Amino acid sequence: MPTRIDPRGPRFAATLTAVVLAVVLVTGSTWLLALQGLVFAAGAFLGLQRAPYGLLYATLVRPRLGPPGELEDAAPPRFAQAVGLVFAVAGVIAFASGLTVVAYVAVAAALAAAFLNAAFGFCLGCEIYLAYRRLFPSQPNTTEVAS
């Protein structure tokens, strides 16, 4: 049985992430982006419910809400955190190397993904998964069928 989580947790985390990334774009703060990168890393390696925004949700928000109507698998949003981490790392490296335009593009992409999750419940990071696997198969294809 895969780990199940309250789906409102990732939505709350995505909202905070979008706000933080918007502030990064407005202020150009590499440090804030690096901090968000650490939050992504915690979400990817420890699971969203043990990452900072997840803990915030569990202690401050969830007690004020009723129990969730349904649970969702923890794996998809966790994978999306790893995708976010890649963009945050790319952004930090680009900022540090003076490639400001590249940094803005990376942070803008992460902001778009976080906003889509917060506002519409779409997990863009999750949807990249199949496209990624089409380019980089995880194992040799065993289903070749002559047709």
Partner 1 sequence: MPDVTGLVVVVAVLAAATAFGLWRRARDGRVVEARVDDALLGPDELGEPLGERATLVQFSTAFCQPCRAARATLKHVAADTDGVVHVEIDAEHHLDLVRRLNILRTPTTLVLDGDGRIVRRATGAPRLADVRAALPALRA
Handedness of CA 4, 127, 129, 79 (dihedral sign): negative
Provide the mask over 78-97, with x wherever binding to partner 1 is found by CB under 8 A and - wherever it is not. -xx-----------------
- Rule CB under 8 A: say whether 46 interacts with partner 1: no
- Rule CB under 8 A: say whether 112 interacts with partner 1: yes
Please identify, using beta-carbon distances, which residue of 53 and 79 lies nearer to partner 1.
79
- Provide DSSP, 69-81: S--EESHHHHHHH
Choose one: 31-39, 54-62, 87-95, 117-125; the region binding partner 1 (CB under 8 A): 117-125
d(CA 28, CA 49): 29
- Rule CB under 8 A: say whether 116 interacts with partner 1: yes
Q: How far is the CB of 24 from partner 1 (least distance, A)?
A: 8
Distances (CA, A) of 131 to 61, 92, 134: 35, 25, 5
